[in-house]
Chain A
Amino acid sequence: MAKSFHLRIMTAEGTLLEGEADYCHIPTTAGSVGVLADHAPMLCAMPEGETLCRMEDGTEKTVRHSSGVADVRDNRVTILADRAEL
């Protein structure tokens, strides 16, 4: 099984999604980025769009969100957006 990382999607109104994921596809202002475990530290700005997350148990979740930022480091991915919904 693929190695997983900790994923957290936060908005001002609370944490929308938190759990172990093994892949996520983040749209950034410079083009989309696919993140797997052990990704290099990265901080990126995201435009409004959709982030696709494949959780550890195989379920896929699509999160629609406003513009925001994504922080990737030490196998933790934190996505901050003013608004987001599953």
Chain B
Amino acid sequence: MANLRAIRTRIKSVENTRQITKSMKMVAAAKLRKTQSAFASLRAYAGESGKLLAEASAGQTGIENPYLTPHAECRRICYVLIVGNRGLCGTYNQSLLRYCENLIKDSDKENYVIVCGRWGKDLIAAAGLEVRENYEIGDTPTHEEALTLAERLKELYREGSVDEIRLVYQHYRSVLSQVPEQAQLLPLQKQEETGSADRSTIFEPDRDSLLNTLLDMYIGNTVHAVLLEARTGEHSARMTAMTAAADNTEELINDLTLELNHARQAAITTEISEIAGGAEALRNNTAGG
């Protein structure tokens, strides 16, 4: 009977695992919805400020802004690695770390690594990345957190500690697919001018300081958008991984139940044949005696 009991214990434990993976999936789904709605509000805000930026910069050629001017020589690149806050989300974090490692290996420039997210401090250290700064970013990044990070990045660029800033994150393609990607934050790349120069617009106090304000907003919004995109990807990856895990436990439970029934049937058959054998022997004894 030891076998039967072992199988039952096993089923119990797999059922517990299923419970856990199911709830983790539900939590990830709820967080995913939250980040998605935050993303929608940000998109409206960023769209509006982008439109104003295009309008204010339309027809302007010699804009003086520290963030638009590349440094004379690019010696040191700052990589902002945006990892997840937790594991259990498939290869989301590992593949991103691998990607970032390769980026750094392939470049002959110095690097300055900033990590955002709580995941795998030891793994990142083991990969040989020298992490200079660490930022805690919540599961649904707020604008506040994005601005703090953006402020620090701008400062690094302004004081010349780094000559280029790149955000390294998992680009969100769909719930099922995220791809590691890098995007250059600073120096800002000039975009195609779309706005029309409306001469009648009054600029208060003047066009240049207005442009500076708008560019600041633009940088903050870009950082926030990337953080939200990375988190959306993380929650989706976790949801997918947990769905797969829950499905697996289901399958395992079915297999184990089948095995349990076989074992039980075998035990019953053995018992019956033992009883039958015993009865036979008893009858023979009585007949003989």
| A30, A40, A78, A80 pick with most chain B CB within 10 angstroms | A80
Contacting residues of chain A (2-31) with chain B, CB-CB under 8 angstroms: 10-15, 28-30
Residues of A within 8 A of B48 (CB): 10, 71, 78, 80
CB pair A13–B38 under 8 Å, yes or no, is: yes
Chain A 36-73, CB within 8 Å of chain B: the 1/0 string?
Answer: 00001111110000000000000000000001110101
Given contacts A43-B52, A45-B204, contact A82 B210 (CB under 8 A): no
Docked-complex contact A13 and B41, CB < 8 angstroms: yes
In the complex, which of the residues A12, A40, A43, A83 contacts B210, with contact meaning CB atoms closer than 8 Å? Answer: A43
Asked whether B209 lies within 8 Å of A45 as measured between CB atoms, the reply is yes
- The minimal Cβ–Cβ distance linking B280 to chain A, given in whole angstroms, is 83
Contact call A44/B200, Cβ cutoff below 8 A: no
What chain A residues lie within 8 Å of B205 (beta carbons)? 28-30, 44-45
Contacts of A12 in B (CB 8 A): 41-42, 45-46, 143, 146, 220-221, 224
Quick check: A82 and B38 within 8 Å, CB to CB? no
Q: Is the CB of A41 within 8 A of B209?
A: no
- A42 adjacent to B143 (CB under 8 Å): no
A15, A41, A67, A83 interface centre (most CB from chain B within 10 Å): A41
Complex CA gap A71/B203 in Å reads 10
A78 contact set on B, CB distance < 8 A: 48
Contact yes or no, B217 A69, CB < 8 A: yes
Question: Does B147 touch A at the CB level, under 8 Å?
Answer: yes
Q: Is there an interface contact between A41 and B202, defined as CB atoms closer than 8 Å?
A: yes
**When A28-B205, A69-B214 are in contact, do A10 and B45 touch as well, CB less than 8 Å?**
yes
- The one of B45, B198, B202 that contacts A11, using a Cβ cutoff of 8 Å: B45
A43 lies within 8 A of B202 (CB): yes
Q: Is the CB of A40 within 8 A of B200?
A: yes
Q: What's the tally of chain B residues with a CB closer than 8 Å to chain A?
A: 31
B44 within 8 A of A: yes
Q: Which B residues from 31 to 59 make CB contacts under 8 A with A?
A: 38, 41-42, 44-46, 48-49, 52, 55-56
Q: Known contacts being A12-B143, A30-B205, is A68 close to B45, with CB within 8 Å?
A: no
Distance in Å: Cβ of A75 to nearest Cβ of chain B: 15
Contact A15 B198 (CB under 8 A): no
Interface check B213, CB cutoff 8 A: yes
Contacts known (A29-B209, A82-B220); A14 close to B52, Cβ less than 8 A:
no
Q: How far is the CB of B36 from chain A (nearest CB, A)?
A: 13
Q: How far is the CA of A78 from the CA of B50 in the complex (A)?
A: 13
Q: Is residue B142 contacting chain A, with contact meaning CB distance below 8 A? A: yes
B204 contacts A28, CB within 8 Å? yes
Q: Chain A: which residue is nearest B55 at the CB level? A: A43
Cβ of A76 to closest chain B Cβ, rounded Å: 11
B interface residues (Cβ-Cβ under 8 A, vs A):
38, 41-42, 44-46, 48-49, 52, 55-56, 142-144, 146-147, 198, 200-205, 209-210, 213-214, 217, 220-221, 224
A residues touching B (Cβ–Cβ < 8 Å)?
10-15, 28-30, 33, 40-45, 67-69, 71, 73, 78, 80, 82-83
Closest 7 pairs between A and B when the two form their complex, measured CB to CB: A44-B204, A30-B205, A12-B143, A14-B41, A42-B202, A45-B213, A41-B201
Query: In the complex, given contacts A15-B44, A41-B202, A45-B210, what are 19 additional A-B residue pairs having Cβ atoms less than 8 angstroms apart?
Result: A11-B45, A12-B42, A12-B143, A13-B41, A30-B205, A41-B198, A42-B204, A43-B56, A43-B204, A44-B205, A44-B210, A45-B213, A69-B52, A69-B214, A73-B201, A80-B45, A82-B147, A82-B220, A83-B144
